[in-house]
Amino acid sequence: MSNYNLETKLWSVADELRGNMDANEYKNYILGFIFYRYLSEKQEKTINKALEDDNLTFKDVQKDTVIYEVVQKDSLSKLGYFITPELLFSTIIEKTDEEEFILDDLQKAFNQITNSSQGTESQDDFSNLFEDVELNSSKLGKTPDEQNDKISKVIRKLNEIDFKLDEDESDILGDAYEYLIGQFASSAGKKAGEFYTPQEVSTILARIVTLNKDRLKSVYDPTCGSGSLLLRVSKETKVADFYGQELNQTTYNLARMNMILHGVRYNQFDIKQGDSLENPQHLNQKFEAVVANPPFSAKWSSSKKFMDDERFGAYGKLAPKSKADYAFVQHMIYQLDENGTLAVVLPHGVLFRGAAEEKIRRYLIEEKNYLDAVIGLPKNIFYGTSIPTCILVFKKCREHDDNIIFIDASEHYEKAKNQNKLRPEDIDKIVTTYAERNEEDKYSHVAPLEEVIENDYNLNIPRYVDTFEEEEPIDLDELVDELEQIEKEIQEVDDKIIEYCKELGIRPPVIRRD
């Protein structure tokens, strides 16, 4: 309901910083502060609720060492962190009323959140979470006082917004947070091949990997970004555990905040930082659902050592240096459980490019028979790139293992301002067509494996889904009738023209052929 309101209000906090720096930088402040306030209020609420029967609040019990210690322990085990009363968001807001200097306290609060989890189970989830929120950046102001002034304004503005944490089951704040991440992504411009996955595309992936499952043991995303794809899967079905890896430190921080903000408990997610091709962190695990939107045609080392790597060795060739697309696919397949489903967004080139990629493609189909579906998406649906993309779906145990379904959804979208957008009905159509393996003229085709072999394992969609618009044939007789009619009318006009020309004494431009 007021979802939209919360989103716009949160986005408007960014106005305070917009003049000082670009989106990529101020997002760290906004998202960091929102997260800090969330943790702070969540803790206060949790503790206050526990103390309700005693008619006490968290701030009342700070002098009582015994109760205080119990409360602290409780918070650590329930939430995974603990903030002392003088460093709560509400306390710091009070200080800004008096225009006090708060930057030191804020820094202390951040350190406390990360340090309180040291040596506990939640350590990995909170370490270095706030490192991107640089409180003494010169971009905030020249002097510490100016910096303090700016930050105070931002957090006071943030304080005016109601986070609606009382609405327990709802995900309002989490979704608004997600919306902000998306907004920042679209206004920050692109970085080499990294694009924020639009929600519509995440939804398709999520719905495909959760088809016919009322719960998932695990979901894994090797290039998880801010974690939105993982969370999207949990909107479709109950997910026990979330696993992810993200190369970019800042985005990795966001992913962990995003998880916590969506109410995923610290012991339910395991997100690691690092390059999942060079330095995979979950190699000894298999997952029931694997999803990803890896950077499009990223560079990777393609180093010979990978020929000895279990993930890549059997294929005979490594993905080329300049295009890691298939390396990610191979990595994901390695992590996929026997009963699981893998859905990945890739650029169109993976369908038809030759050389090593052709070899890998062929191996996946001929030797493994893992490929279950090829779905062509409309062009220009990603922020910052117009490149046409596709979704590949892989399964280790395929129900329909003698065919592959091809879906050409490239013409099914709505034109928005700068972007093409998939409508809910477009998403439904893709998922239903895939689930039911429907064949529809100019949209989908269930291709027997022989057909794919005939095409030399080239998966380019037009070879399978015929979308060629043939010209409507017009009846020859009809055309000749029309021609005769025109000829007659020309003759009549000619008669008139000849008449006029005679009167004017000039030669008529009419040659009678009869």
Partner 1 sequence: MDKSTQRSDNTVKDHKQDLIIPKLRNNLFKDNWSTKKLGDISKIIMGQSPSSSNYSDDTDDTILIQGNQDLNNGLVVPRIYTSEITKISKPGDIILTVRAPVGDIAINEYDCCIGRGVCSITPHENKLFIYYYLQYLNNKKIWNKYSQGSTFESVNSKDIKNLKIKIPSINEQNYISEFLSSIDKKIEFMEKKYNCLLQLKNNIITNLFCNEDMYQPLLKFNDEKWEYITLNEIGTTYSGLSGKSKDDFGVGTSLFVPYKAIFDSEIIDINLLENIKINDSEKQNLVKMYDILFTSSSETPEEVAMTSIFLNNYDNCYLNSFSFGYRVTAKFINPIFLNYYLRSPMLRKKFYKIAQGSTRYNISKKEIMKLSIKYPSSETQEKIISFILNMNNNISNLRREIELNKEFKRSLLSKMFC
Token readout for 103 is 């930057």
Among the residue ranges 183-191, 253-261, 395-403, 487-495, the one whose residues contact partner 1 (CB under 8 A): 487-495
For residue 67, which of 94, 85, 86, 92 has the smallest C-alpha distance?
Answer: 85
Token readout for 222 is 């090797």
Q: Taking CB under 8 A as the rule, which mask of x and - marks residues 310-349 in contact with partner 1?
A: -------------------------------------xxx
Q: How far apart are CA 2 and CA 391, in angstroms?
A: 33
Secondary structure of 251-292 in the HEC alphabet? HHHHHHHHHHHCCCCHHHEEEEECCCCCCCCCCCCCEEEEEE
Verify binding: residue 355, partner 1, rule CB under 8 A: no
Judge whether 433 and 440 are in contact, CB under 8 Å: yes
Verify binding: residue 477, partner 1, rule CB under 8 A: no
Q: How far apart are CA 347 and CA 296, in angstroms?
A: 6
Binder to partner 1 among 235, 352, 359, 403 (CB under 8 A)? Answer: 352
Q: How many residues bind partner 1 (CB under 8 A)?
A: 36
Binder to partner 1 among 474, 512, 513, 514 (CB under 8 A)? Answer: 474
Per-residue DSSP letters for 130-147? TTT--TT-TTT-SSHHHH
Verify binding: residue 227, partner 1, rule CB under 8 A: no
**C-beta closer to partner 1: residue 46 or 460:** 460
**For residue 421, what is the enclosing H or E element?**
strand 420-421
Secondary structure of 197-212 in the HEC alphabet? CCHHHHHHHHHHHCCC
**C-beta closer to partner 1: residue 336 or 345:** 345
**C-beta closer to partner 1: residue 59 or 190:** 190
Binder to partner 1 among 53, 97, 166, 471 (CB under 8 A)? Answer: 471
Q: How far apart are CA 128 and CA 240, in angstroms?
A: 25
Verify binding: residue 496, partner 1, rule CB under 8 A: yes
Q: How far is CA 60 from the centre of its chain?
A: 44
For residue 34, which of 258, 265, 268 has the smallest C-alpha distance?
Answer: 258
**C-beta closer to partner 1: residue 85 or 388:** 388
Token readout for 184 is 């920042």
How many alpha carbons fall within 13 Å on the CB side of residue 510?
17
Verify binding: residue 493, partner 1, rule CB under 8 A: yes
Q: Which residue reads 């995303």 in tokens?
A: 221
Binder to partner 1 among 473, 512, 513, 514 (CB under 8 A)? Answer: 473
Token readout for 511 is 């040659």
Please, what is the minimum distance in Å from the beta carbon of residue 247 to partner 1? 24
Binder to partner 1 among 338, 504, 512, 513 (CB under 8 A)? Answer: 504
Among the residue ranges 49-57, 275-283, 320-328, 466-474, the one whose residues contact partner 1 (CB under 8 A): 466-474
Interface with partner 1 in residues 113-142 (CB under 8 A): none
Among the residue ranges 29-37, 71-79, 174-182, 454-462, the one whose residues contact partner 1 (CB under 8 A): 454-462
Interface with partner 1 in residues 356-415 (CB under 8 A): 386-388
Please, what is the minimum distance in Å from the beta carbon of residue 349 to partner 1? 6
**C-beta closer to partner 1: residue 362 or 395:** 362
Verify binding: residue 468, partner 1, rule CB under 8 A: yes
**C-beta closer to partner 1: residue 440 or 466:** 466
Binder to partner 1 among 509, 512, 513, 514 (CB under 8 A)? Answer: 509
Judge whether 259 and 305 are in contact, CB under 8 Å: no
Verify binding: residue 462, partner 1, rule CB under 8 A: yes
432-453 burial, b at 16+ Cβ within 10 Å, e below that, comes to ebbeeeeeeeebbbbbebeebe
**What residue ranges bind partner 1 (CB under 8 A)?**
347-349, 351-352, 386-388, 458, 460, 462-463, 466, 468, 470-471, 473-474, 476, 479-480, 482-483, 486-487, 489-490, 493-494, 496-497, 500, 503-504, 506, 509
